[in-house]
A and B are shown apart, each in its own frame.
Chain A
Amino acid sequence: DIQMTQSPSSLPASVGDRVTISCRASQTISGYLNWYQQKPGKAPHLLIYAASSLQSGVPSRFSGSGSGTDFTLTISSLQPEDFATYYCQQSYITPLTFGGGTKVDIK
């Protein structure tokens, strides 16, 4: 199975900060990498698909990059509504697997 490792697991930040979350796959997954945002008590919400494509309706301050085994989610200027947990997910091969999550909370 492909293991997805996110870092950091917790990220204290302030409004206006540039935030970067990393995701590493245990083997190459090309560009088969998605990012989701989840707020407490809510379902996950797609942000980025295919490593760098922004889902319709998602603010442009979110961006994704990477290929192979190393990927990054960047929030260019953190907004109050962005405090949440973020998950990466590989869609290269079953079993489809998620990273452990990165909780972005208030510094």
Chain B
Amino acid sequence: EVQLVESGGGLVQPGGSLRLSCAASGFTFSRYWMTWVRQAPGKGLEWVANIKQDGSEKYYVDSVKGRFTISRDNAKNSMYLQMNSLRAEDTAVYYCASAVYAMVRGVIVNWFDPWGQGTLVTVSS
């Protein structure tokens, strides 16, 4: 069974740090781009970051650049999100997902599937 399980969420004070983990199983983790997506309470989805199969390319949404770092360990089938200088607006459920790339009608397209169940990060004093 293909599965992604996030961990590491919790309550942290503004300015603090937290490291999220995403453990993958049931598929060849090293063959896939991976991504983090977050959802603030009662709000929509926001893409946060993604990372290439070998970790050589990483991309971030502007609001987390310089504060968050995405990484992966293919030997451990795991991805991470190091979050520093946390702000109240970072409060959200953080989901990890696999980013699938495939040729469709002659074009390489991509989508997020599957997703983990999410881990809640609360930034508050």
Binding site for B on A (CB under 8 A): 30-32, 34, 36, 38, 42-46, 49-50, 53, 55, 87, 89, 91, 94-101
- Please state if A89 and B110 are interface contacts (CB–CB under 8 Å): no
Instruction: Judge whether A44 and B109 touch: CB under 8 Å.
Output: no
SS of A interface (majority): loop
Known A31-B105, A95-B62: A101·B44 in contact at CB below 8 Å = yes
Task: Kindly supply a per-residue 1/0 record for chain B positions 26-46, scoring 1 wherever the CB is within 8 Å of any chain A CB and 0 otherwise.
Answer: 000000000101000000111
A30 near B107 (CB under 8 angstroms)? yes
In the complex, the answer to whether A97 meets B109 with C-beta atoms within 8 Å is no
Q: Is B75 an interface residue (CB 8 A)?
A: no
By secondary structure, the B interface counts as strand
Of residues 88 to 125 in B, which have CB atoms within 8 Å of A's CB atoms?
Answer: 95, 100, 104-105, 107, 109-118
| Chain B residues bordering chain A, tally (CB within 8 A) | 25
B61 and A89 contact, CB distance less than 8 A: no
Residue among B45, B50, B100 making CB contact with A98, cutoff 8 Å: B45
Q: How far is the CA of A49 from the CA of B115 in the complex (A)?
A: 15
Is the beta-carbon distance between B107 and A49 smaller than 8 angstroms?
Answer: no
Contact of B115 with A87 in the complex, beta carbons under 8 Å: no
Q: Most B CB atoms within 10 A — which of A42, A53, A96?
A: A96
How far is A50 from B107 in the complex, measured between Cα atoms in Å? 9
